Structure 1
Amino acid sequence: MDDVKIGEILLPGEEPEQERRRQKVEKRFWPVFKRAFRQVPFSRDLVAAYYCALDPTTPTRVRGILLAALAYFVLPFDAVPDMLVGIGFTDDIAVLTAAFAAIRGHIRGEHYQSADRALSDGAGEAG
Protein backbone atom coordinates (compact mmCIF):
# COMPACT_ATOMS: atom_id res chain seq x y z
CA MET A 1 0.00 0.00 0.00
CA ASP A 2 1.67 3.22 -1.07
CA ASP A 3 1.48 6.75 0.36
CA VAL A 4 -0.66 8.08 -2.50
CA LYS A 5 -3.33 5.48 -1.89
CA ILE A 6 -3.31 6.05 1.88
CA GLY A 7 -3.51 9.80 1.25
CA GLU A 8 -6.55 9.27 -0.93
CA ILE A 9 -8.23 7.08 1.68
CA LEU A 10 -7.66 9.69 4.39
CA LEU A 11 -9.27 12.61 2.61
CA PRO A 12 -11.61 14.18 5.20
CA GLY A 13 -14.49 14.59 2.73
CA GLU A 14 -17.39 17.01 2.81
CA GLU A 15 -19.96 16.93 5.61
CA PRO A 16 -22.43 14.58 3.84
CA GLU A 17 -19.60 12.09 3.24
CA GLN A 18 -18.43 12.43 6.85
CA GLU A 19 -21.97 11.73 8.05
CA ARG A 20 -22.19 8.57 5.90
CA ARG A 21 -18.85 7.42 7.27
CA ARG A 22 -19.90 8.21 10.85
CA GLN A 23 -23.02 6.07 10.48
CA LYS A 24 -21.01 3.15 9.05
CA VAL A 25 -18.37 3.46 11.76
CA GLU A 26 -20.92 3.62 14.58
CA LYS A 27 -22.74 0.58 13.24
CA ARG A 28 -19.75 -1.65 12.49
CA PHE A 29 -16.88 -0.53 14.74
CA TRP A 30 -17.40 -2.79 17.76
CA PRO A 31 -18.09 -6.05 15.86
CA VAL A 32 -15.01 -5.52 13.65
CA PHE A 33 -12.89 -4.37 16.57
CA LYS A 34 -13.74 -7.52 18.53
CA ARG A 35 -12.57 -9.67 15.60
CA ALA A 36 -9.38 -7.62 15.12
CA PHE A 37 -8.52 -7.01 18.78
CA ARG A 38 -5.61 -9.44 18.94
CA GLN A 39 -4.20 -8.40 15.55
CA VAL A 40 -4.14 -4.64 16.11
CA PRO A 41 -1.06 -3.66 18.15
CA PHE A 42 -2.57 -0.36 19.27
CA SER A 43 -6.11 -1.29 20.29
CA ARG A 44 -6.35 1.39 22.98
CA ASP A 45 -5.37 4.10 20.49
CA LEU A 46 -7.87 2.74 17.99
CA VAL A 47 -10.74 2.88 20.48
CA ALA A 48 -9.66 6.37 21.61
CA ALA A 49 -9.65 7.43 17.93
CA TYR A 50 -13.20 6.11 17.64
CA TYR A 51 -14.31 8.30 20.54
CA CYS A 52 -12.37 11.28 19.16
CA ALA A 53 -14.02 10.88 15.74
CA LEU A 54 -17.48 10.87 17.32
CA ASP A 55 -16.74 13.83 19.61
CA PRO A 56 -18.49 16.95 18.24
CA THR A 57 -15.78 19.16 19.77
CA THR A 58 -13.09 17.53 17.62
CA PRO A 59 -12.16 19.80 14.68
CA THR A 60 -14.05 18.89 11.50
CA ARG A 61 -10.90 18.09 9.47
CA VAL A 62 -9.59 15.78 12.22
CA ARG A 63 -12.96 14.04 12.53
CA GLY A 64 -13.02 13.61 8.76
CA ILE A 65 -9.57 11.99 8.68
CA LEU A 66 -10.41 9.67 11.57
CA LEU A 67 -13.80 8.75 10.12
CA ALA A 68 -12.14 7.94 6.78
CA ALA A 69 -9.57 5.70 8.48
CA LEU A 70 -12.15 4.05 10.73
CA ALA A 71 -14.51 3.51 7.78
CA TYR A 72 -11.68 1.76 5.95
CA PHE A 73 -11.12 -0.38 9.05
CA VAL A 74 -14.78 -1.43 9.37
CA LEU A 75 -15.60 -2.00 5.69
CA PRO A 76 -15.46 -5.66 4.72
CA PHE A 77 -13.69 -5.06 1.42
CA ASP A 78 -10.30 -3.42 1.24
CA ALA A 79 -6.83 -4.00 -0.20
CA VAL A 80 -6.12 -7.08 1.94
CA PRO A 81 -9.18 -9.10 2.99
CA ASP A 82 -9.54 -9.01 6.77
CA MET A 83 -10.37 -12.72 6.82
CA LEU A 84 -6.75 -13.64 6.01
CA VAL A 85 -5.42 -14.67 9.40
CA GLY A 86 -2.20 -12.91 10.33
CA ILE A 87 -2.17 -10.40 7.46
CA GLY A 88 -5.80 -9.41 7.03
CA PHE A 89 -5.56 -6.20 9.03
CA THR A 90 -2.10 -5.07 7.87
CA ASP A 91 -3.47 -2.55 5.36
CA ASP A 92 -5.95 -1.28 7.96
CA ILE A 93 -3.06 -0.80 10.40
CA ALA A 94 -1.12 1.17 7.77
CA VAL A 95 -4.09 3.47 7.14
CA LEU A 96 -4.75 3.94 10.86
CA THR A 97 -1.07 4.65 11.57
CA ALA A 98 -1.05 7.33 8.86
CA ALA A 99 -4.25 8.84 10.27
CA PHE A 100 -2.81 8.94 13.78
CA ALA A 101 0.30 10.71 12.47
CA ALA A 102 -1.86 13.27 10.63
CA ILE A 103 -3.99 14.14 13.66
CA ARG A 104 -1.38 13.78 16.39
CA GLY A 105 -2.40 15.57 19.57
CA HIS A 106 -6.15 15.67 18.88
CA ILE A 107 -6.95 12.45 20.69
CA ARG A 108 -7.35 13.80 24.22
CA GLY A 109 -7.24 12.26 27.67
CA GLU A 110 -11.03 12.01 27.83
CA HIS A 111 -11.00 9.90 24.65
CA TYR A 112 -8.47 7.56 26.25
CA GLN A 113 -10.56 7.40 29.43
CA SER A 114 -13.60 6.39 27.36
CA ALA A 115 -11.44 3.81 25.58
CA ASP A 116 -10.17 2.40 28.87
CA ARG A 117 -13.74 2.08 30.19
CA ALA A 118 -14.93 0.36 27.01
CA LEU A 119 -11.98 -2.03 26.98
CA SER A 120 -12.40 -2.91 30.63
CA ASP A 121 -16.10 -3.57 29.96
CA GLY A 122 -15.24 -6.33 27.48
CA ALA A 123 -13.79 -4.67 24.38
CA GLY A 124 -16.69 -2.39 23.71
CA GLU A 125 -19.69 -4.38 24.83
CA ALA A 126 -20.71 -1.41 26.94
CA GLY A 127 -19.38 1.13 24.42
Structure 2
Amino acid sequence: MVDEQFTDSGFWNKIKLFSRQAGREVIERALWLYYASQQPNTPKWAKSVIFGALAYFISPLDAIPDLTPLVGFTDDLGALAAALTMVSLYIDDEVKSRAADKLALWFGDKPTEPKI
Protein backbone atom coordinates (compact mmCIF):
# COMPACT_ATOMS: atom_id res chain seq x y z
CA MET A 1 0.00 0.00 0.00
CA VAL A 2 1.23 3.51 -0.86
CA ASP A 3 0.89 4.91 2.66
CA GLU A 4 3.33 2.25 3.89
CA GLN A 5 6.04 4.04 1.87
CA PHE A 6 5.35 7.32 3.67
CA THR A 7 6.77 7.94 7.13
CA ASP A 8 6.46 10.92 9.44
CA SER A 9 10.20 10.86 10.09
CA GLY A 10 10.97 10.77 6.36
CA PHE A 11 8.64 13.70 5.77
CA TRP A 12 10.08 15.90 8.52
CA ASN A 13 13.64 14.96 7.55
CA LYS A 14 13.01 15.99 3.92
CA ILE A 15 11.43 19.25 5.08
CA LYS A 16 14.36 19.95 7.42
CA LEU A 17 17.00 19.28 4.77
CA PHE A 18 15.36 20.88 1.74
CA SER A 19 12.86 23.53 2.91
CA ARG A 20 14.92 26.52 1.71
CA GLN A 21 15.89 24.86 -1.56
CA ALA A 22 12.35 23.62 -2.26
CA GLY A 23 10.85 27.00 -1.44
CA ARG A 24 7.81 28.18 0.41
CA GLU A 25 5.25 27.07 -2.22
CA VAL A 26 6.36 23.43 -2.29
CA ILE A 27 6.67 23.22 1.50
CA GLU A 28 3.29 24.91 1.99
CA ARG A 29 1.54 22.37 -0.25
CA ALA A 30 3.33 19.48 1.46
CA LEU A 31 2.24 20.79 4.86
CA TRP A 32 -1.37 21.22 3.71
CA LEU A 33 -1.43 17.59 2.65
CA TYR A 34 0.35 16.39 5.78
CA TYR A 35 -2.00 18.21 8.14
CA ALA A 36 -5.08 17.18 6.11
CA SER A 37 -4.00 13.55 6.50
CA GLN A 38 -4.15 13.98 10.27
CA GLN A 39 -7.72 15.30 10.28
CA PRO A 40 -10.29 12.77 11.54
CA ASN A 41 -12.78 13.82 8.82
CA THR A 42 -10.38 12.99 5.97
CA PRO A 43 -11.55 9.69 4.44
CA LYS A 44 -9.26 6.75 3.75
CA TRP A 45 -9.29 7.23 -0.02
CA ALA A 46 -8.13 10.85 0.41
CA LYS A 47 -5.42 9.80 2.86
CA SER A 48 -4.17 7.27 0.30
CA VAL A 49 -3.93 10.03 -2.32
CA ILE A 50 -2.14 12.27 0.19
CA PHE A 51 0.30 9.58 1.31
CA GLY A 52 1.08 8.74 -2.31
CA ALA A 53 1.99 12.35 -3.09
CA LEU A 54 3.97 12.74 0.13
CA ALA A 55 5.78 9.44 -0.49
CA TYR A 56 6.85 10.81 -3.89
CA PHE A 57 7.91 14.06 -2.21
CA ILE A 58 10.19 12.29 0.28
CA SER A 59 11.50 9.72 -2.19
CA PRO A 60 15.11 10.18 -3.29
CA LEU A 61 14.12 8.79 -6.72
CA ASP A 62 12.44 11.60 -8.66
CA ALA A 63 11.72 12.28 -12.30
CA ILE A 64 13.79 15.44 -11.78
CA PRO A 65 16.43 15.05 -9.04
CA ASP A 66 15.82 17.47 -6.17
CA LEU A 67 19.41 18.71 -6.31
CA THR A 68 18.98 20.00 -9.88
CA PRO A 69 19.26 23.81 -9.66
CA LEU A 70 16.07 25.82 -10.28
CA VAL A 71 13.90 22.88 -11.39
CA GLY A 72 14.65 20.15 -8.87
CA PHE A 73 11.32 20.36 -7.08
CA THR A 74 9.00 21.00 -10.03
CA ASP A 75 8.02 17.34 -10.28
CA ASP A 76 7.37 17.26 -6.53
CA LEU A 77 5.19 20.37 -6.83
CA GLY A 78 3.28 18.69 -9.67
CA ALA A 79 2.61 15.59 -7.56
CA LEU A 80 1.54 17.72 -4.60
CA ALA A 81 -0.70 19.90 -6.80
CA ALA A 82 -2.39 16.85 -8.35
CA ALA A 83 -3.11 15.45 -4.89
CA LEU A 84 -4.40 18.83 -3.69
CA THR A 85 -6.81 18.96 -6.62
CA MET A 86 -8.23 15.60 -5.60
CA VAL A 87 -8.50 16.27 -1.86
CA SER A 88 -9.09 20.04 -1.77
CA LEU A 89 -12.33 19.57 0.17
CA TYR A 90 -10.23 18.44 3.15
CA ILE A 91 -7.82 21.40 3.06
CA ASP A 92 -9.79 23.53 5.51
CA ASP A 93 -8.94 26.69 7.45
CA GLU A 94 -7.46 24.71 10.35
CA VAL A 95 -5.09 22.86 7.99
CA LYS A 96 -4.04 26.13 6.31
CA SER A 97 -3.56 27.84 9.67
CA ARG A 98 -1.33 25.06 11.02
CA ALA A 99 0.75 25.17 7.83
CA ALA A 100 0.98 28.98 7.94
CA ASP A 101 2.17 28.88 11.55
CA LYS A 102 4.88 26.35 10.70
CA LEU A 103 5.94 28.33 7.61
CA ALA A 104 6.19 31.51 9.67
CA LEU A 105 8.61 29.73 12.01
CA TRP A 106 10.76 28.44 9.17
CA PHE A 107 10.59 31.27 6.65
CA GLY A 108 10.13 34.15 9.06
CA ASP A 109 6.94 35.66 7.72
CA LYS A 110 3.28 34.87 7.41
CA PRO A 111 1.86 34.74 3.88
CA THR A 112 -1.24 36.52 2.75
CA GLU A 113 -4.16 34.30 1.77
CA PRO A 114 -2.89 30.90 0.55
CA LYS A 115 -4.53 29.53 -2.60
CA ILE A 116 -5.37 26.00 -3.60
TM normalised by structure 1 equals: 0.70
Q: 1:90 aligns with which of 68, 74, 93?
A: 74
**Residues 1:30 and 2:26 aligned together:** no
Q: Is the 8 A contact 1:36 1:89 kept in 2?
A: no
- Tell me which residue corresponds to 2:46: 62
More helix by share: 2
Q: Is the 8 A contact 1:45 1:112 kept in 2?
A: no
Extract structure 1 runs of 4+ deviating beyond 6 A.
none
Q: Is the 8 A contact 2:63 2:75 kept in 1?
A: yes
| CA deviation vs aligned residue, 1:34-72 (integer Å, no higher than 9, x gap) | 414453435323212111123333111111101100110
Cα 1:59–1:65 change in 2 (3 A) is same
Cα 1:53–1:109 change in 2 (3 A) is same
Cα 1:63–1:37 change in 2 (3 A) is farther
Q: Is the 8 A contact 1:80 1:90 kept in 2?
A: yes
- Tell me which residue corresponds to 1:113: 97
Amino acid of the structure 2 residue aligned with 1:27: S
Task: Report percent identity of matched pairs.
Answer: 29
Alignment: residue pair count: 105
Deviation at 1:87, TM superposition (A): 1.4
1-structure distance, mates of 2:20, 2:80: 14
Amino acid of the structure 1 residue aligned with 2:14: V
